[in-house]
Amino acid sequence: MIHVGTDKWIFDPESPAPYRRLSVRECARIQTFPDNFIFYYKNIIAAYKMIGNAVPVNFSYAIAQAIKEDLFSKKHTNNRPNYLPLQLSLNLL
pLDDT digits (tens, 9 = 90+) for 1-10: 788 988 788 8
- Domain interval for residue 41: 2-52
Q: Is 32 helix (H, G, I), strand (E, B) or coil?
A: coil
Mean pLDDT across 56-80 = 81
Q: Give the containing element (helix H, strand E) for 44.
A: helix 44-52
Residues 46 and 63 in one domain: no
* Together in a domain, 22 and 6: yes
**Stretch 65-91: mean pLDDT:** 71
Would you place residue 90 in the very low, low, confident or very high pLDDT band (cuts 50, 70, 90)? confident
Please give the backbone phi and psi of residue 9, each rounded to the nearest 5 degrees, phi first: -130, 150
pLDDT score at 14:
85
Domains in the chain: how many in total? 2
> Does one domain contain both 35 and 62?
no
Q: 10, 1 in Cβ contact below 8 A?
A: yes
